[in-house]
């Protein structure tokens, strides 16, 4: 896993035992062969844990903070029922969030232009 992490290490992150963002974890599992069950905390781990953090990254980069257990339909179905297009969409989102500094304009446009990705309005009240 160390070689895979080094290849995806923006700004010195993603070293063994250190913090990894949702986008980084997604890409490590999808492209570098890392085991999704190695990402998580307590009994929360695997693809759906990573997916939730991928969406939390998207929201945080758009100045929206949610709690770890918050879920809304925009997060989509469990990865167990993903279509190939769902995987590809999340791959693209992971690429954007993992290198947000380089892709911030596209990331912001994706969020602003996709109401399904935004949290419910009543959460903001």
Q: Could you give the percent of the chain with pLDDT greater than 90?
A: 58
Dihedral of CA atoms 85, 6, 68, 112 in degrees, nearest 10, equals: -50
What domain range is 85 assigned to?
A: 2-124
Total tally of structural domains belonging to the chain: 1
Q: Indicate the pTM of the whole model.
A: 0.82
Express each pLDDT in 1-43 by its tens digit.
Answer: 444 544 444 444 455 557 889 999 999 999 999 999 999 888 9
The angle subtended at Cα 42 by Cα 37 and Cα 47, nearest 5°, is 30
Express each pLDDT in 27-37 by its tens digit.
Answer: 999 999 999 99
Task: Note the pLDDT of residue 12.
Answer: 44
């Amino acid at each position: 896993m160390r070689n895979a992490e080094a290849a995806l290490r923006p700004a010195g992150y993603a070293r063994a035992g250190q913090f990894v963002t949702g986008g980084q974890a997604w890409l490590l599992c999808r492209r570098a062969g890392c085991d999704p069950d190695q990402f998580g905390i307590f009994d929360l781990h695997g693809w759906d844990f990573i997916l939730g953090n991928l969406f939390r990254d998207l929201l945080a980069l758009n100045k929206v903070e949610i709690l770890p257990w918050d879920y809304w339909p925009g997060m989509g179905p469990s990865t167990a029922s993903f279509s190939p297009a769902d995987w590809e969409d999340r791959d693209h989102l992971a690429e954007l969030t993992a290198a947000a500094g380089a892709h911030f304009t596209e990331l912001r446009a994706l969020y602003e232009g996709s109401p399904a990705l935004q949290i419910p309005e009543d959460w903001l009240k």
